[in-house]
C-alpha cells in the first residue's frame, strides 16, 4: 500500500516506537471472558511483536509495539512458546494471538510459521486472531483448517458514523465489513468486533449514541463478542485533532453509559475494554466503584442499579466531568 498524504501526516506526528524484541512477546494476560451462551471461558492473550500494520488509522497506537520491516521467520513461534511455557498449571480454553496488525498479512505472520503456530494452538478449543476486514479471505480459511479448535477473527468496525468513519483513514466501508462478516460466518468462523468510544469527528454529545448504534450494527451482523474501546491519546494525531476541537477524550461515565445502553443485546457479548482504564477522565469519588461495576457487567452481562455519587456529574453533564474530577481530587 502506498502511503498517502494523510498517512504521511499521521506518521510524522508519531512519537518513537517502544523497543521490542521480535523473539519475545511484549505482553500476555489470562482472563475470564463471557461467551454468547453465558459461559465463562478462560483465555490467554499473547501480545505478539511483529511487523507494523500497513494501514494508518488516525486513532491507532498499536504500531508502538511493532518492529521495522517484516516479522522474521520463526520469531512468532518463539514468542508463543515463551508465553505458553509461563502458564504452568493454568488451563485456558482460548488462545488469543494479537499481533498489533493483521494476522493474515504474510509480512506480519510469515506463511512458513503458520503450521507451527497452529500446532502450538492445538491444546486450545478456540483461537482468536485480529485482522482488518480487507485482509479476510482464503488465508483465514487455511488457518481455520489448520487449527484443531474453532477460529474467531477480531475485526475493527470502529464506527458506523459515515462522516467520522471516512476521517479515520481506515479505508473500510460498511459494505466491505459486511462482506467480511458474512464470509466468516458462512465458513463457521466466529466474529469479534472492536467498536470505538470517543471517535474523532463525532460531536461529544452524540458519542455514546454512535457507539451504541455501532455495537447494534455489529450484533446484527452476527458478532459473538463486541468490545467497546475508548480512544486514547498519545499517538500525535489524536492530540492534533483534540487541539482542533475534533476529538474529546471519552470519559469513564460515557463508557458505563454505552455499556448500559447495550445491555438489551443478548445475541452478542458486549464488553467494555478496561485496558488503561485509569487514564479515562472520571470523578475520583466514584471512579473505583464504576470500574468495578463495569468489570462485573463484562462477566455477567447483567446491569446493576447505577452508582450514586454526591458529585454533580449525574448522567448528563459529561463535559463538566473534568472539572468535577479535579474538584474532588
Q: Is 57 in the site for ligand SF4 (CB under 6 A)?
A: yes
Nearer to Zn ion, 219 or 253 (CB): 253
How many chain residues bind ligand SF4 (CB under 6 A)? Answer: 11
The footprint of Zn ion (CB under 5 A) covers 283, 285-286, 309, 311
Q: Binding mask 93-112 vs ligand SF4 (x if CB under 6 A, - otherwise)?
A: -------xx-----------
Q: Is 49 in the site for ligand SF4 (CB under 6 A)?
A: no
Alpha carbon distance 72, 116 (integer Å) = 14
CB within 8 Å of 300: residues ≥ 6 apart: 34
Applying CB under 6 A, among 7, 14, 62, 246 the residue interacting with ligand SF4 is 62
- Give min distance, CB of 285 to Zn ion, in A: 4
Nearer to ligand SF4, 54 or 301 (CB): 54
Q: Is 60 in the site for ligand SF4 (CB under 6 A)?
A: yes
Stretch touching ligand SF4 by CB under 6 A, among 57-65, 81-89, 114-122, 264-272: 57-65
Q: Is 324 in the site for ligand SF4 (CB under 6 A)?
A: no
Closest CA to 237 of 12, 5, 1: 12
Nearer to ligand SF4, 235 or 271 (CB): 235
- Give min distance, CB of 237 to ligand SF4, in A: 11
Applying CB under 6 A, among 50, 110, 149, 156 the residue interacting with ligand SF4 is 156
- Give min distance, CB of 277 to Zn ion, in A: 15
CB within 8 Å of 51: residues ≥ 6 apart: 66, 67, 69, 70, 71, 101, 105, 107, 108
Q: Is 268 in the site for ligand SF4 (CB under 6 A)?
A: no
Applying CB under 6 A, among 48, 53, 155, 157 the residue interacting with ligand SF4 is 53
Nearer to ligand SF4, 132 or 221 (CB): 132
Nearer to Zn ion, 42 or 296 (CB): 296
Nearer to Zn ion, 209 or 320 (CB): 320
Q: Which residues of 77-111 are buried (b: 16+ CB within 10 A; e: fewer)?
A: bbbbeebbeeeeeeebbbbbbbbbbbbbbbebbbe
Alpha carbon distance 112, 52 (integer Å) = 19
Q: Is 214 in the site for ligand SF4 (CB under 6 A)?
A: no
- Give min distance, CB of 184 to ligand SF4, in A: 17
Q: Is 132 in the site for ligand SF4 (CB under 6 A)?
A: yes
Closest CA to 129 of 191, 64, 177: 191
Do the Cβ atoms of 228 and 292 come closer than 8 Å? no
Bridge partners, residue 127, by sequence = 95, 151
- 193 φ, ψ (degrees, to nearest 5): -130, 140
DSSP secondary structure of 82-129: HHHHH-TT---SEEEEE-SS-TT-TTTS-GGGHHHHHHHTTT-SEEEE
Which letter does DSSP use for residue 206 in this model? G
- Give min distance, CB of 22 to ligand SF4, in A: 17
Do the Cβ atoms of 306 and 263 come closer than 8 Å? no
Name the residues that contact ligand SF4, by CB under 6 A.
53, 55-57, 60, 62, 100-101, 132, 156, 170
Amino acid at each position: 500500500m502506498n502511503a498517502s498524504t494523510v498517512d504521511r501526516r499521521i506518521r510524522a506526528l508519531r512519537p518513537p516506537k517502544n523497543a521490542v524484541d521480535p523473539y519475545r512477546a511484549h505482553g500476555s494476560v489470562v482472563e475470564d471472558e463471557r461467551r454468547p451462551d453465558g459461559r465463562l471461558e478462560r483465555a490467554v492473550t499473547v501480545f505478539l511483536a511483529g511487523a507494523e500494520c500497513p494501514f494508518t488509522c488516525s486513532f491507532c497506537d498499536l504500531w508502538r509495539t511493532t518492529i521495522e520491516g517484516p516479522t522474521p521467520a520463526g520469531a512468532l513461534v518463539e514468542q508463543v512458546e515463551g508465553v505458553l511455557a509461563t502458564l504452568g498449571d493454568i488451563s485456558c480454553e482460548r488462545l488469543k494471538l494479537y499481533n498489533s496488525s493483521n494476522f493474515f498479512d504474510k509480512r506480519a505472520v510469515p506463511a512458513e510459521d503458520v503450521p507451527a503456530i497452529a500446532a502450538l494452538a492445538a491444546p486450545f478449543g478456540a483461537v482468536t486472531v485480529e485482522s482488518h476486514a480487507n485482509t479476510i479471505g482464503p488465508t483465514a480459511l487455511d488457518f481455520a483448517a489448520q487449527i484443531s479448535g474453532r477460529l474467531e477473527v477480531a475485526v475493527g468496525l470502529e464506527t458506523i458514523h459515515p462522516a467520522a468513519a471516512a476521517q479515520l483513514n481506515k479505508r473500510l466501508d460498511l459494505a466491505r465489513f459486511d462482506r467480511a462478516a458474512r464470509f466468516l460466518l458462512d465458513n463457521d468462523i466466529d466474529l469479534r468486533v472492536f467498536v470505538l468510544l470517543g471517535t474523532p469527528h463525532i460531536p461529544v454529545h452524540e458519542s455514546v449514541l454512535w457507539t451504541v448504534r455501532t455495537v447494534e450494527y455489529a450484533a446484527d451482523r452476527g458478532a459473538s463478542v463486541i468490545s467497546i474501546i475508548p480512544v486514547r491519546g498519545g499517538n500525535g494525531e489524536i492530540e492534533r485533532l483534540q487541539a482542533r476541537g475534533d476529538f474529546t477524550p471519552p470519559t469513564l461515565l460515557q463508557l458505563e453509559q454505552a455499556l448500559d445502553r447495550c445491555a438489551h443485546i443478548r445475541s452478542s457479548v458486549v464488553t467494555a475494554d478496561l485496558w488503561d482504564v485509569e487514564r479515562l477522565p472520571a470523578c475520583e469519588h466514584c471512579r473505583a466503584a464504576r470500574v468495578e461495576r463495569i468489570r462485573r457487567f463484562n462477566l455477567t452481562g447483567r446491569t446493576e442499579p447505577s452508582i450514586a455519587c454526591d458529585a454533580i456529574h449525574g448522567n448528563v453533564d459529561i463535559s463538566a466531568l473534568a472539572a468535577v474530577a479535579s474538584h474532588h481530587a
